[in-house]
Amino acid sequence: MSLFSFLGLGFSAIAANAQKAQGEAALAASKRQAYDLETEMEVQAAQALAKANVRHDEYKLSMASNMALFSAFGNVNSASWKAAVDREKQVLSDDLYAIATQGEIDIYRTKSERRVALEEGYARKTAANIGAFTTMATGIMNFADTYSKAGKGTG
């Protein structure tokens, strides 16, 4: 039995451990990415809320401006005033709906990216473990083959 067969087995073990470590590192990286994406979803929700608040403040400012304009002409109780108020409310409602919908779309997209990142990390870890097993099994088979040949006096 040669020293090379033991070295081959040892190198197989080292390579297998390195493959497993790469798989663990890939999974850890994907978990960090998933955490970052989770944080991004919270930011997206906050941004949507902030946009809605800004839009609501714009509505209040517009209503105050319209009230001042209609008051200046003494038309506060007129049909025109009611139509302007109804229109402003409808525009606000449409805008808030669009802001909320876009916020949900952004969050859903980020959730999908998070899920994919985690799935890829677990897949890389599984592939690394399979590679490590294959490397170690090949090393053992080569060692056993060398050992059996040495026992028969052919190696």
What's the one-letter identity of residue 10? G
Kindly state the tokens that stand for 31.
């978990």
User: Higher-confidence residue: 155 or 52?
Assistant: 52
pTM of the complete model:
0.72
Q: How confident is the model over 16-69, as pLDDT tens digits?
A: 999 999 999 999 999 999 999 999 999 999 999 999 999 999 999 988 988 888
pLDDT of residue 119: 97
User: Higher-confidence residue: 150 or 90?
Assistant: 90
pLDDT of residue 154: 53
Q: Are 110 and 44 in contact (CB under 8 A)?
A: yes
d(CA 29, CA 24): 9
Find the helix or strand (DSSP H, E) in which 62 lies.
helix 3-72
Q: Is the pLDDT assigned to residue 153 strictly greater than 80?
A: no
